[in-house]
Amino acid sequence: MKKVLIKGVDIIHSITFWQLILTVIILLPLGLFGLRQNNLQMGELKLAVIDADEAGVGQQEALDALSKHVFTHMNTSTEVELASTYDRVVAQIQSDASQNLVNPQLFEQGQAACASRPSAVRQQCVQDYVVANSNAGADVVNLEYPEKGFYRFSFYSPRWTPDLAGWSLLGTAVSVLLMIFKVVHKKIRP
């Protein structure tokens, strides 16, 4: 065991300091470039999810592609919300409810009155409008909307992956550690 350690130290001593510096100079920018490329690819896949959501088709395939990329590459954590899908579900619930009202125009008036509001509060605004303008509660319908969290997805990337960025940054870290070892060893044993 002692011979193996001595041989390992001899190998480290055979690597010159300038070779380690050169390795860091090459691998660090390569690793940073890899991280940037991973993030750009994630951005494109996230846009594909949003486009599929707006089109109403292919959301699951786009989400699968995004999650596969995020889970296998560094620097790709993201969140995405299927806002259009949620809005379609809410619109369907409201449409179904408006057909059951004594005065269906009341619901349409509420939708028109609340159209300028953000989607997060629009549904409550419509419901409040219907309640406020109904005849003694005759038209009141208690709508149950789906939880908005069911349409939000969070993806977290691993700290290290075996891709261009991962290997380059690992090589950089090893080179820096070897440089520190060489400096400390030289101070201890001149």
pLDDT in tens, 122-161: 777 877 777 777 664 554 556 788 888 899 999 999 999 9
Phi-psi region of 137 (alpha: psi -120 to 50; beta: other; left: phi over 0): left
Q: Please calculate the CA angle 102-144-62 and round it to the nearest 5 degrees.
A: 120
Question: Residue 71: its pLDDT value, please?
Answer: 95
Contact 178, 12 (CB under 8 A): yes
Question: Residue 109: its pLDDT value, please?
Answer: 78
Give the predicted TM-score (pTM) of the model: 0.71
Share of the chain above pLDDT 70, in %: 88
Report the alpha-carbon distance of residue 12 to residue 25 in Å, rounded. Answer: 19
Domains in the chain: boundaries: 2-77+156-188, 84-149
For residue 90, count other CB atoms closer than 10 A to its CB.
18
Question: Residue 92: its pLDDT value, please?
Answer: 86
CA torsion through residues 86, 90, 93, 95, sign: negative
- Of the chain, the end-to-end C-alpha distance in Å amounts to 25
Of 156, 155, 158, 160, give the one whose Cα is nearest residue 31: 160
Give the C-alpha distances (Å, rounded to integers) separating 108 from 5, 114, 141, 147, 157: 80, 10, 14, 23, 44
Token pair of 100, please? 């059951």
Of 74, 55, 78, give the one whose Cα is nearest residue 66: 78
What is the identity of the amino acid at 61? E
